[in-house]
Amino acid sequence: MTAFDQATAIWPAGEGRYEVMPDDRFAIAGAVNGGVLLASMLRAVLDSSPHPDPIATSAHFLRAPRPEPAQVEVAWLKHGKVTATARATLIQDGRPVLESTVTTGALSEPADAGGLSWTGEPPRLPPIEECHGIEDAAGPRPFSGFAKQVDVRLDPATSGWARGEPAGTPEMRGYFQLREDRDPDAYLLALAVDSMPPVVFGLAVVGWSPTVELTWYMRARPAPGVLRIATRSRLVSGGWFDEEAEVWDSAGRLVAQSRQMALVGRGSASRGGDPPNPPIAASRRGVT
Amino acid sequence: MTAFDQATAIWPAGEGRYEVMPDDRFAIAGAVNGGVLLASMLRAVLDSSPHPDPIATSAHFLRAPRPEPAQVEVAWLKHGKVTATARATLIQDGRPVLESTVTTGALSEPADAGGLSWTGEPPRLPPIEECHGIEDAAGPRPFSGFAKQVDVRLDPATSGWARGEPAGTPEMRGYFQLREDRDPDAYLLALAVDSMPPVVFGLAVVGWSPTVELTWYMRARPAPGVLRIATRSRLVSGGWFDEEAEVWDSAGRLVAQSRQMALVGRGSASRGGDPPNPPIAASRRGVT
């Protein structure tokens, strides 16, 4: 069993309640990565769902999740033939930490539903050997936490910020996989959609960029292998920025989409090209 | 007072409850447009919010809303200095019809927050005089319902479906305003983000395309005047499609973004180029 599967395990406690254990192997500075928490919550939702796939998950991040015991409460709002919708709340010390709503359904093969199919262009990436690991940007600290679990390799065209040469555009492209051998599924996609460095790093704003809201859609069950991810922002303004991500599988299919609203690096933000320290993707969740 | 403001009015009933009256002036085939319902719910949330702007609103559509009395229940999950988050549920006959979560905050002027600002390209549209009203696609029926309230003018490059000549790409571009004289605000943006014909019309799939989930972000307080909207899909597959929208104001600012997951035209779907009948945008919400 991988660290990721251990970190996202659930223990049923009856009446729609589950015990979970936010795992400090996915935490930095005391806050556990939100994607890992969402994966735990999806396990709880799918445990009692009449449909197999988490089609649409929306999540509002309320408080910093700590690596301590927590509970997930699942309440079903609708059980339909095509879709079902549940509210799932992550609770620590009696307070909601992460509020999500999940609509489940079945991802048919494209040949179903009359065969109507249309798809946009996948991201273009150089070979993985030419891409840069995010751990390279972590500076002199011991290689630990999120970057020890997740292998993200950035297209050099979007990793200039780590070398003090930000590209000047809010976008990232790269490869994603766990360092342990594990095929992607719905739970890993929940992690993947928010695994890249914040797009504002491309504008030389390196620091704490807490996510306020994130919604992601699962579009297909991913093929085994490395995932490709492209993110971009459309507007950075007034201290807020949006970030959207597309995740493509090894078979060349768009398997997940996300969009989040986040706050531009606060407190520790630097406007220089300094590499972030500690490693980045796990430092995105926090109290606002 | 405009029909839109009447249709989205709320009556406080104490303890976070509000009476609302879904309005058949915004209904077609018995279902009230979801954007109008979201606007009502945002009024209820902002009535007790510590912050002025609905930064992030996520909504899951559970059942078809009818033009009959309904209630909105607002429960606050967090009151923070920068953001606050509420759950708002629209209830009819004791059952949840629309489940939303709203994070409020303050949209600073771009000069705040260190002045960091970056924006993508606005949509390019021909002059409004050269665009086509959606009511032109409504066929021989009396001009009524949604299209009687809302003035949407489509770029001819994306309205070919109404002439039996679909463009073959899932995108729409056009202008949006109420037929009555009323400046845009947060409530009107909630309507605007889902006011265009479904993008799959561009693929010659004209019919009922129920939205399952929609999340929208408010990015700036809009200037008076006509709004410009661009929508697109990235993947139509297996009976599902995503649709994202950008709304730009008359001052050339990106004021709202949305993304939704919807089901490809069902039941009444036609694969020909037949114009939809009844008018389209109001027929998007339904039971799944």
> Tens of pLDDT along A126-156?
999 999 997 766 554 545 678 889 999 999 9
Residues in Cβ contact with A141 at an 8 Å cutoff, skipping those fewer than 6 apart: A277, A278, A279
CA B148 – CA B27 distance, rounded (Å): 11
Name the nearest CA neighbour of A10 among A41, A35, A38.
Answer: A41
Q: What confidence tens digit (pLDDT) does each residue in B88-122 have? A: 999 999 999 999 999 999 997 544 556 688 999 99
Chain mean position to CA A241: 16
How confident is the prediction along chain A (288 residues), in pLDDT tens digits per residue? 999 999 999 999 999 999 999 998 987 667 788 899 999 999 999 999 999 999 999 999 999 888 899 999 999 999 999 999 999 999 999 999 999 999 999 997 544 556 688 999 999 999 999 999 977 665 545 456 788 899 999 999 999 998 899 999 999 999 999 999 999 999 999 999 999 999 999 998 877 789 999 999 999 999 999 999 999 999 999 899 999 999 999 999 999 999 999 998 754 333 333 333 333 333 343 334
Question: Whole-prediction pTM value?
Answer: 0.91
Q: Which of A104, A201, A213 is most worth mutating to test chain B (most B CB atoms within 10 A of its CB)? A: A213
Among the partner-chain residues A58, A117, A288, the one whose CB lies closest to the CB of B101 is A58
CB A263 within 8 A of CB A285: no
User: What's residue A113's pLDDT?
Assistant: 52
Phi, psi of A154 (to 5 degrees): -90, 140
* B284 backbone dihedrals φ, ψ, rounded to 5°: -90, -20
Radius of gyration of chain A (CA): 18
Rounded CA-CA distance B59/A261 in Å is 15
Please indicate whether, in this complex, the C-beta atoms of A213 and B114 are within 8 angstroms of each other: no
Segment B208-222 shows an average pLDDT of: 94
- How far off is chain B from A117, nearest CA to CA, in Å? 5
Categorize the per-residue pLDDT at B266 as very low, low, confident or very high, splitting at 50, 70 and 90: low
Report yes or no: A242 and A261 within 8 Å, Cβ to Cβ: yes
Two tokens at B130?
């050269």
In angstroms, the CA A33 to CA A192 distance is 11
Comparing alpha-carbon positions, the chain A residue that sits nearest to B96 is A77
Under an 8 A CB cutoff, do B288 and A170 touch?
no
Q: Which pLDDT does position B113 carry in this prediction?
A: 52
Count of beta carbons in the 10 Å neighbourhood of residue A79:
14
Per-residue three-class SS string for B218-244: ECCCCCCCCEEEEEECCEEECCEEEEE
Largest Cα–Cα distance in chain A?
55
> How many residues are listed for chain B in this entry?
288
Strand locations in A40-154 (E): 53-61, 70-79, 84-92, 95-105, 118-119, 132-133, 150-154
Chain A closest-CA separation from residue B240 CA (Å): 8
Give the helix/strand (H/E) hosting A4.
helix A3-7
Burial of B164 (0-12, 13-18, 19+ CB in 10 A): exposed
